[in-house]
Amino acid sequence: MKQEEINKLRNDFVYLSGGDTLIANFDMCQILCECMFQILNIHGREIPQTKAESESKLVLQMMFSKLLSLRDMLAGVNFESRDGSRINTIIDPTVVAVLVRTLYETVAMFNLVFIIPQFEEERKIMYNLWVIAGLKYRQKFSNNITIDENRQKQIAEAAEILTLTSEIEKTNVFNSLTDAGKKKIIEQIKKRDYKVKINRNDVELLSWETTIPHMNMDVEKMGPMYNYFSLYAHPSNVAVFQYVNLFDKQKNDYIQMSNFNIATGIKLISFFIANYIQLFPKVKEIFENLPLIDQIMINYHSKFITKDGRTINDTLTSLG
């Protein structure tokens, strides 16, 4: 590679890695959009072999939709009244924070169900727990069902919960657990939760935060982030009183806060792309057909929050 090409890569890298301007974050979102679209357009069309594989591909579609929403938030919102008075265009960083929180939870779910389990039976248990949790939440609406078709669906799903639970209890992994470990699994089913880590013959109960080290994510960098974004997912006092000066024209704190939140979302999506390629190694070929700078930037943002610093490929070395 010629020196001028290396210099161009370095300049683009500096611009796209900072995450401190709206336009740079928009351009980085575009790079991620292009990558995910290419994966969906090529790998997404391949016929899945199992229901779990099909649903893991649906998670990719969900993440792409969330990414598009994140990108479009950069345009801001405004309002003009019938009388001609108006609110200038703003980006609400607290709304961005709520979306980034859902990005984190989706990445964590994807790791818990599809990446962390090492053996087939572990994957089956985690997948079943995830499905059961969703179905049991839907069962809560049974008293509000008025259409007969939905009533039949509710009955079928109740039967499916029993089947999935039975499948878990029949696995060798479940039966090799201590009594305490088995009890934890059963309790998670009752609580409509699936956040667990199977450790040989025992089970570790997890929260969204304590999942971080198990998915090879840097605890020091990402540990406080879930609580930070959760402040804005609920009407906490912090979320309210910050509005006092948030949109002060002299300071533009809302832009700085928005850039930070969006930059964190960019890192989470890059991390997810690396996870997805780990699950489907053939997707790496699609990734490596992207422009070199796109590969470099996705690797960089993923590596930034990865505990062991691994990357999808070695394109970061192109920077010299």
Q: Tell me whether residue 26 is in a domain.
A: yes
CB 213 within 8 A of CB 223: no
CA–CA separation, 77 and 60 (whole Å): 27
**What are 160-167's contacts with CB under 8 Å, separation 24+?**
160/131, 160/135, 161/132, 161/135, 161/136, 164/128, 164/131, 164/132, 164/135, 165/128, 165/132, 165/189, 167/124, 167/128
Q: Tell me whether residue 304 is in a domain.
A: yes
Backbone dihedral region for residue 192 (phi beyond 0: left; psi -120 to 50: alpha; all else: beta) = left
Across residues 202-223, what is the average pLDDT?
96
Which pLDDT value is given to residue 142?
A: 62
Q: Tell me whether residue 12 is in a domain.
A: yes
The radius of gyration computed from the CA coordinates of the chain, to the nearest angstrom, equals 22
Which pLDDT value is given to residue 278?
A: 97
Q: Tell me whether residue 197 is in a domain.
A: no
Q: Tell me whether residue 243 is in a domain.
A: yes
Q: Tell me whether residue 172 is in a domain.
A: no
Q: Is 158 buried (19+), middle (13-18) or exposed (0-12) by CB count in 10 A? A: middle
H or E segment to which residue 9 belongs: helix 3-17
CB 247 within 8 A of CB 255: no
Q: Percentage of residues in the chain with pLDDT exceeding 70?
A: 97
User: Whose structure tokens read 């394109």?
Assistant: 315
CA–CA separation, 188 and 196 (whole Å): 8
Instruction: Tell me the two tokens of residue 52.
Output: 């779990």
Q: Tell me whether residue 142 is in a domain.
A: no
Which pLDDT value is given to residue 192?
A: 96
Of residues 111, 76, 65, the one with CA closest to residue 272: 111
Total structural domains within the chain: 1
Q: Tell me whether residue 174 is in a domain.
A: no
Higher local confidence (pLDDT), 178 or 149? 178
Instruction: Tell me the two tokens of residue 216.
Output: 């090879």
**pTM to 2 decimals?**
0.94
Which pLDDT value is given to residue 145?
A: 60
> Would strands 86-90 and 77-80 be described as parallel, antiparallel, or unpaired?
antiparallel
Which pLDDT value is given to residue 1?
A: 81
Which range, of 83-87, 248-252, 303-307, averages the lowest pLDDT?
Answer: 248-252
Categorize the per-residue pLDDT at 148 as very low, low, confident or very high, splitting at 50, 70 and 90: low
Residue 36 belongs to what domain range? 3-119+208-319
Across residues 230-242, what is the average pLDDT?
82
